[in-house]
């Protein structure tokens, strides 16, 4: 049994994994993270043999995670995933491969191994990242845009009269400010994805993951798969597949 951990810029997600299949997932907001909170959440878990971590968050967060793991399970082996040049059938398309976020790298590995076809991967988290992979496992590059919450926060902090609300509204023409911001930012995300798909010269499977995946998928004009645990599933492949 192993514990898989994905530390993003908004939330820390984890999954309990048995033989590569994910059997339990949970999450906590970064704003609520502390040694005590993680101990409370994790001490009820069975003792893992391996803890695998993906972290695009601050080094202090990684250090916190490792310290809690060592406190709860002193003999357990901790593996911290790193972006590679080639791994699990994927070839990194960045000119400086190590600069590609490890969460994006792991999502590419998951898609290569689960779907085995050309795909456009959209991680709808704090940022919205778009990555393209061909049917041979070559990463063709990516794009980075603000996520829905970041877009709303940018409007609120960059203007005098726009408030921030995390509330969701019915998408479309709005007759008030908050609903207009909510629809405008949601449509911006959909527009990015639809343009990427429209410009594709070969067929790709569109796959969405991340906290806002379902909300964005609901509004998209093109067909897509929502796979909530792509990063954690990729983490499992990266740690347990013999190269």
Ligand X SMILES: Nc1ncnc2c1ncn2[C@@H]1O[C@H](COP(=O)(O)OP(=O)(O)O)[C@@H](O)[C@H]1O
Ligand Y SMILES: CC(C)(COP(=O)(O)O)[C@@H](O)C(=O)NCCC(=O)O
Size of the site for K ion (CB under 5 A): 4
Binding site for ligand X (CB under 6 A): 8-11, 29, 125-126, 147-149, 210-212
Residue 178 or 228: the one with the smaller Cβ distance to ligand Y is 228
Write the CB contacts of 62 (distance below 8 Å, at least 6 apart in sequence): 7, 53, 55, 80
Q: Tell me which stretch binds K ion (CB under 5 A): 41-49, 105-113, 124-132, 198-206.
A: 124-132
Bridge partners of residue 4, in order along the sequence: 15, 52
Residue 101's binding partner, choosing from K ion, ligand X, ligand Y, none, with beta-carbon cut-off 5 to 8 A by kind?
A: ligand Y
Residue 137 or 147: the one with the smaller Cβ distance to ligand X is 147
Residue 179 or 216: the one with the smaller Cβ distance to ligand Y is 216
- Per CB under 6 A, 186 contacts ligand Y: no
227 catalytically annotated = no
Helix, strand, or coil (residue 42): helix
Residue 99's binding partner, choosing from ligand X, ligand Y, K ion, none, with beta-carbon cut-off 5 to 8 A by kind?
A: ligand Y
Bridge partners of residue 87, in order along the sequence: 90
- Whether residue 94 is annotated as binding a ligand: the answer is yes
- Per CB under 6 A, 167 contacts ligand Y: no
- DSSP symbols for 64-88: HHHHHHHHH-TT-EEEE----SEET
- The string over 118-144, giving b where at least 16 C-beta atoms fall within 10 Å of a residue's C-beta and e elsewhere, is bbbbbbbbbbbbbbbbbeebebeebee
205 and 131 Cβ atoms separated by less than 8 Å: no
Exactly one of 103, 131, 182, 227 is catalytic; name it: 103
| C-alpha dihedral sign at 79, 230, 87, 93 | negative
- What is the rounded distance in angstroms from the CA atom of residue 79 to the CA atom of residue 157? 38
Interface residues toward ligand Y, by CB under 6 A: 8-9, 56, 99-101, 103-104, 123, 125-127, 129, 144
Q: Which residues are annotated as a binding site for ATP?
A: 6-13, 126
Interface residues toward K ion, by CB under 5 A: 123, 125, 127, 129
């Amino acid at each position: 049994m192993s514990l898989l951990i994905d530390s993003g810029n908004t939330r820390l997600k984890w999954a309990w994994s048995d033989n590569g299949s994910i059997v339990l997932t949970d999450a906590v907001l970064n704003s609520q993270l502390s040694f005590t909170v993680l101990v409370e959440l994790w001490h009820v878990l069975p003792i893992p043999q391996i803890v695998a971590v993906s972290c695009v968050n601050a080094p202090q967060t990684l250090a916190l995670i490792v310290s809690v793991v060592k406190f709860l399970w002193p003999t357990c082996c901790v593996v911290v995933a790193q972006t590679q040049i080639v791994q699990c059938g994927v070839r990194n398309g960045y000119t400086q491969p190590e600069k590609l976020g490890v969460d994006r790298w792991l999502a590419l590995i998951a898609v290569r191994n689960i779907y085995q076809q050309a795909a456009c991967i959209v991680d709808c988290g704090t940022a919205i990242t778009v990555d393209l992979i061909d049917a041979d496992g070559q990463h063709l590059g990516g794009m980075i845009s603000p996520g829905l919450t970041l877009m709303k926060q940018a409007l609120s902090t960059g203007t005098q009269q726009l408030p921030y609300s995390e509330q969701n509204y019915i998408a479309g023409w709005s007759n008030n400010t908050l609903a207009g911001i909510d629809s405008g930012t949601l449509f911006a995300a959909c527009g990015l994805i639809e343009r990427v798909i429209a410009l594709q010269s070969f067929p790709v499977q569109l796959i969405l993951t991340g906290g806002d995946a379902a909300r964005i998928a609901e509004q998209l004009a093109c067909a897509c798969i929502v796979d909530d645990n792509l990063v954690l599933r990729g983490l499992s492949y990266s740690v347990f597949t013999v190269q």
